[in-house]
């Protein structure tokens, strides 16, 4: 395909003039500008962005590290990021990790490779110490709060939100509460859930926590296990509405009434929760994602909190 040299030759000008036309510089005579534009149109020429990026040293590309792409919570974050990227004309590269630490580091190297201007970490598998070195090569934004000053954060106060849920359940008279989490205690949100629980109800009996819950089926299985405990929980907090939906389905299948026999609260206000009329702790992840993009683009290291909402429906 044609390149800038050919355009210059055909238009009878130098490459610098073509470059000036391309980049809308002033100080180009109208005649030359027109002549160059004519050739550009004739040749159907477009600059090679790769070459432009190389010389400019920036790519207008932002990576988003995401453990699971078939997960509503991460999809909401990604959706928020994409919302803004379209307006701002940035390209978004999705970087799935399945929480594999090596894969995550491999993705972070794209920053060093000059393939990315910034990276947004929706959830991480590596300790911050292993991530911090990469801030030297580009902006790193986290969707989880961290005090590290090198890292910009667009986050919500998970701990406070969990506290509110557990406190509400306590106020309603519940004493046997179960909950589900995605990962185990290697994850910040799991630790925060446990801390909030223990703040309200005291020491947790680990039998009442079910890890590895991501999808509907996981919720169903969790319901099966948790609802056969003695004493049976009268309320369960699920780390997602899909999981809550699975618990709901199992509970119904064994004849339990919601909410008389079992209160269910889900998370992230997803369609399945709306459909089953489940209460949901909405962390407003779309907004968090949008904010994360803005921080990334601005290379800001600010810490920005987005408020959560507790949506009460008939399941409580």
Partner DNA sequence: ATGAAAGCGCTAACAG
Partner DNA sequence: CTGTTAGCGCTTTCAT
**Residue 96 touching a second copy (CB under 8 A):** yes
Residue 16 interacting with DNA (CB under 7 A): yes
Judged by CB under 8 A, the chain residues 192 through 211 that form the site for a second copy are: none
Chain positions 57 to 116 lying near DNA, rule: CB under 7 A, are 57
Binding to DNA by residue 5, rule CB under 7 A? yes
Alpha carbons 252 and 246: distance in angstroms, whole number: 10
Q: Is 17 in the site for DNA (CB under 7 A)?
A: yes
Q: Is 13 in the site for DNA (CB under 7 A)?
A: yes
Residues 63-92 that bind a second copy (CB under 8 A): 69-70, 72, 75-76, 78-79, 82, 86, 91-92
Q: Specify the residue, 56 or 299, whose C-beta has the smaller distance to DNA.
A: 56
User: How far is residue 168 from each of residues 12, 23, 171, 312, measured CA to CA in Å?
Assistant: 76, 59, 5, 11
Nearer to DNA, 43 or 310 (CB): 43
SS (H, E, C) 82-93: HHHHHHHCCEEE
Place of tokens 């940035």: 90
Applying CB under 8 A, the span of 107-115, 140-148, 168-176, 306-314 interacting with a second copy comes to: 107-115
Reading the block at residue 261, the tokens are: 């026999």
Closer residue to a second copy (CB): 137 or 179 = 137
Site string for DNA, 27-66 (x = CB under 7 A): xxx-xxx------------xxx--xx-xxxx---------
Which is nearer to DNA, 43 or 194 (by Cβ)? Answer: 43
Site string for a second copy, 254-293 (x = CB under 8 A): ----------------xxx-xxxx--------x-------
The neighbour count for residue 163, using CB atoms within 10 Å, is 18
Told to check if 9 binds DNA by CB under 7 A, we report: no
Question: Cβ of 221: how many Cβ atoms within 10 Å?
Answer: 18
Q: Which of 6, 35, 37, 53 binds a second copy (CB under 8 A)?
A: 53
Query: Is the Cβ of residue 35 or residue 194 nearer to DNA in the bound state?
Result: 35
Contact 239, 179 (CB under 8 A): yes
Look up residue 156 and give its two tokens: 């919500």
Least separation in angstroms between residue 169's CB and DNA is 56
* Residue 14, binding choice from DNA, a second copy, none, Cβ under 5 to 8 Å by partner class: DNA
Which of residues 4 and 91 has its CB atom nearest to DNA in the complex? 4
Please tell me the distance from the alpha carbon of residue 220 to that of residue 152, in angstroms, as a whole number. 37
Name the site residues for DNA (rule: CB under 7 A): 1, 3-5, 12-17, 19-20, 22-23, 26-29, 31-33, 46-48, 51-52, 54-57
């Amino acid at each position: 395909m044609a390149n800038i040299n050919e355009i210059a030759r055909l238009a009878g000008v130098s490459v610098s003039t073509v470059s000036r036309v391309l980049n809308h510089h002033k100080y180009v005579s109208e005649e030359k500008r027109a002549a160059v534009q004519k050739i550009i149109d004739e040749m159907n020429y477009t600059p090679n962005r790769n070459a432009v990026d190389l010389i400019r040293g920036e790519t207008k590309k932002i990576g988003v590290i995401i453990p699971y792409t078939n997960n509503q919570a991460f999809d909401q974050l990604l959706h928020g990021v994409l919302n803004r990227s379209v307006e701002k004309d940035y390209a978004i590269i999705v970087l799935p990790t399945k929480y594999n630490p090596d894969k995550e580091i491999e993705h972070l190297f794209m920053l060093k490779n000059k393939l990315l201007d910034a990276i947004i970490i929706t959830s991480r598998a590596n300790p911050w110490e292993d991530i911090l070195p990469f801030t030297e090569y580009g902006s790193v934004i986290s969707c989880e709060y961290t005090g590290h000053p090198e890292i910009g954060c667009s986050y919500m106060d998970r701990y406070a939100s969990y506290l509110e849920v557990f406190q509400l359940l306590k106020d309603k008279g519940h004493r046997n509460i179960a909950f589900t989490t995605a990962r185990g205690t290697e994850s910040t949100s799991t630790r925060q859930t446990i801390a909030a629980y223990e703040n309200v109800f005291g020491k947790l009996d680990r039998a009442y926590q079910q890890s590895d819950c991501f999808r509907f089926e996981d919720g169903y299985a969790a319901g099966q296990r948790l609802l056969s405990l003695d004493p049976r929980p009268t309320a369960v907090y699920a780390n997602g509405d899909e999981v809550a939906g699975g618990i709901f389905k199992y509970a119904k299948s064994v004849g339990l009434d919601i909410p008389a026999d079992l209160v269910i609260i889900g998370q992230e206000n997803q369609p399945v929760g709306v459909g089953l009329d489940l209460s949901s702790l909405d962390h407003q992840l779309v907004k968090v994602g949008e904010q994360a993009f803005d921080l990334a683009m601005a290379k800001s290291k600010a810490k920005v909190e987005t408020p959560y909402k507790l949506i009460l429906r008939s399941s409580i």
